[in-house]
């Protein structure tokens, strides 16, 4: 099973490769290699249309494309405003942890692939490992987490994404 922290993934792609335009299904198939892909879980918070109509439309198009990917489930949290109009995701990380733990306890996977550099996931990773499950972290050079990589059984460092690009655009 693949567990993707969507916002974390988006910002990692931007920081490492200056693009987010990848063939998502091809990328996930690469991550699981020869293993049987059971489910891909993608977690994010929907943008507010009134805040940025263009960004909202882009995200809606992206989510619509995700709905076409086989065995992929999108789980939505929410955005909350803070001081200075700063927005934070709420409920996203918790949903990821609940799905990770629930599926591990129900013995639905042998290996979890986690795409996030958020060290808040370390206690959940450790708990899943006590059940004999392997956890592999997907990391990018400029955004990898020391604590997540140290805790996971293995790390796949993605250093280039050209083979996963959609079309010819790099933006």
Under DSSP, the state recorded for 54 is H
Interval 78-99: pLDDT, tens: 999 888 878 899 999 999 999 9
**Is 131 among the domain residues?**
yes
**Is 169 among the domain residues?**
no
Q: How many residues does the chain have?
A: 171
Under DSSP, the state recorded for 118 is -
Q: Do residues 11 and 156 touch, judged by C-beta distance below 8 A?
A: no
Give the tokens for residue 43.
């977690």
State the maximum Cα–Cα separation within the chain, in Å, rounded to a whole number: 47
Rounded distance between C-alpha atoms, residue 132 and residue 64, angstroms: 35
- For residue 167, what pLDDT band results from cuts at 50, 70 and 90? low
**Is 124 among the domain residues?**
yes
Assess whether pLDDT exceeds 90 at residue 170. Answer: no
**Is 171 among the domain residues?**
no
Give the tokens for residue 21.
């335009």
pLDDT for residue 2: 95
pLDDT for residue 169: 41
Question: Per residue, what are the HEC states of 67-79?
Answer: CCCCCEEEEECEE
Interval 16-61: pLDDT, tens: 999 988 888 889 888 888 888 899 999 999 999 998 999 999 999 9
Assess whether pLDDT exceeds 60 at residue 168. Answer: no
**Is 60 among the domain residues?**
yes
**Is 103 among the domain residues?**
yes
Assess whether pLDDT exceeds 80 at residue 162. Answer: yes
CATH code, domain carrying 82: 3.40.50.1010
Question: How many domains in the chain?
Answer: 1
Domain assignment of residue 68, given as a range = 2-164
Q: Do residues 26 and 164 touch, judged by C-beta distance below 8 A?
A: yes
**Is 94 among the domain residues?**
yes
Note the helical H segments in 6-158. Answer: 6-17, 24-32, 53-66, 92-105, 122-130, 146-151
What's the predicted TM-score (pTM) here?
Answer: 0.92
Rounded distance between C-alpha atoms, residue 78 and residue 141, angstroms: 29
**Is 13 among the domain residues?**
yes
């Amino acid at each position: 099973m693949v567990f993707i922290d969507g916002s974390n993934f988006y910002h990692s792609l931007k920081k490492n490769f200056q693009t987010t335009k990848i063939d998502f299904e091809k990328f996930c198939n690469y991550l699981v290699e020869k293993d049987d892909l059971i489910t891909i879980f993608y977690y994010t918070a929907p943008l507010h249309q009134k805040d940025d109509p263009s960004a909202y439309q882009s995200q809606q198009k992206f989510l619509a494309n995700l709905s076409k990917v086989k065995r992929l489930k999108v789980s939505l949290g929410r955005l909350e405003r803070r001081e200075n109009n700063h927005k934070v995701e709420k409920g996203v990380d918790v949903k990821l942890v609940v799905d990770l733990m629930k599926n591990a306890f129900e013995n639905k996977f042998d290996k979890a692939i986690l795409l996030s550099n958020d060290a808040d996931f370390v206690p959940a990773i450790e708990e899943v490992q006590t059940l004999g499950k392997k956890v592999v972290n997907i990391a990018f050079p400029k955004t990898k987490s020391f604590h997540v990589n140290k805790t996971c059984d293995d790390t796949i460092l993605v250093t280039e994404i050209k083979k996963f690009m959609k079309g010819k655009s790099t933006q």
